[in-house]
């Protein structure tokens, strides 16, 4: 029996701490459809499996370059 219970769902804040990013980054990934989440009332939760899937898809090479072959999307302000 494990001494520490495995977390099955992450809050936006907990996931932001885990990945060292802002909570808004997590919300933006959910809004853009890159990260699947479930809403329980006002609470948003991301499953452990979905967090692992996202991490594997966004892993970086040792050089720090993205491993994906698609360009980085940069947001621009509309005038």
Average pLDDT for 27-34: 93
Query: Using CA atoms, how far apart are residues 26 and 22, in angstroms rounded to an integer?
Result: 7
Give the least confident one: 18-27, 47-56, 70-79.
70-79
Q: In the predicted model, is pLDDT for residue 36 greater than 60?
A: yes
The answer, as to whether pTM is greater than 0.75, is no
CA-wise closest residue to 26 among 17, 16, 34, 18: 16
Read off the pLDDT of each residue in 54-75 and give the average, rounded to a whole number: 57
Confidence of residue 20 (pLDDT cuts 50, 70, 90): very high
């Amino acid at each position: 029996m494990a001494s520490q219970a495995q977390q099955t769902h992450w809050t936006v804040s907990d996931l932001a701490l885990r990945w060292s990013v802002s909570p808004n980054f997590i919300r933006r990934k959910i809004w853009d459809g890159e990260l699947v989440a479930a809403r329980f009332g006002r609470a948003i939760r991301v499953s452990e499996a979905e967090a692992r899937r996202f991490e594997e898809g966004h892993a970086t090479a040792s050089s720090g370059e993205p491993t994906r072959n698609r360009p980085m999307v940069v947001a621009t302000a509309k005038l």
